[in-house]
Structure formats: C-alpha cells, structure tokens
Amino acid sequence: MDLTFHATRPMSVERTFVDTNVLLYSIDEKDLRKRDIAREIIAGLCRNGNGHISMQVVNEFASNLVRKFGRSPSDARKLCADLSDFRLEVGSMAQVQEALRIMEVASISYWDACIVSSAVLSGCRIVMTEDMFSDQRIKGTKIINPFRIA
C-alpha cells in the first residue's frame, strides 16, 4: 500500500507541520477512523503544498514502519519516498536551541519540543499531533489533535 491520498474536504491553507503519529495512522488498519482522518489530512496538505515534516519525523516513521509494522526496509523506503510532497525541515543548531527554550516554557518533552521548534522555524501555524494538548498555542503555533472527538 502506498501513501496515495485523496481528500474529500478542503484543508487549511496555513503551513501545517505533521507529526509521526499522523503518518503512522495513515497506514494503520487497526483503527480505520484514525486511518481515514490521517489520509485526508495528508492528501489535503500534499494537494495544497502546505505540509511540512522534519528529519526527526521521517526517521521515526521509517523506524516504526520496520519495527512496529513489520514492513521491509524496501517497503519503508517506498513509503518514505511517498512523502516527497511535504517540505522537509532538516534541522539546525538554531532548531535545537529553540527546542530547549520551548521545552522550558511549555513544559513538554524534548522530542515534542523539537517538533514544535521545527514547525515554528519553518513558519508553520499548525502542528497536527495527538502527542500534545490539543488547542494549546506554543510560540504562535497551534497544536491540533485531529483524532480528538469533540
């Protein structure tokens, strides 16, 4: 299965950073509701060119594909290549320093702070993740849990 997505509703026109869990749910056949939501998010962001990911996200995605989902490295390589419509944030020392500042201010883990700092430094106004408090704002970037049931 590849990550060819088709959105049925319009996505935000704002730059949006996608965390690893959203990518993983897009291939997870155990929770079809989350899978469908993740696929729709990814399709919309690919279509409008506003999706951002970081090397951290790609590395976590690749590792989990092999380790947790039992995919071959060759299959994982193909699935990672399907993310080419996203803008890839490669990171920098400035990103690490910002993550450490965010970690202190927002009281979140270092790895979550790395996600937020990558988003902030790339100009993203939204982070899609289920790993942080939804509707929280950190440095002007809104955290959204797309899987939360209202």
Residue 10 is classified by DSSP as: P
The beta strands (E) that lie in the chain are given as 16-18, 51-54, 87-89, 126-128, 137-138, 141-144
- CA-based nearest residue to 54, from 11, 142, 113: 113
The model carries a pTM of 0.89
Q: In the chain, how many domains are there?
A: 1
Q: Would 2 be classed as within a structural domain?
A: no
**What CATH number should be reported for the domain holding residue 41?**
3.40.50.1010
pLDDT tens digits, the chain, 150 residues: what are they?
344 444 444 445 689 999 999 999 999 999 999 999 999 999 999 999 999 999 999 999 999 999 999 999 999 999 999 999 999 999 899 999 999 999 999 999 999 999 999 999 999 999 999 999 889 999 999 999 999 986
Q: Would 10 be classed as within a structural domain?
A: no
Range of the domain at 127: 16-144
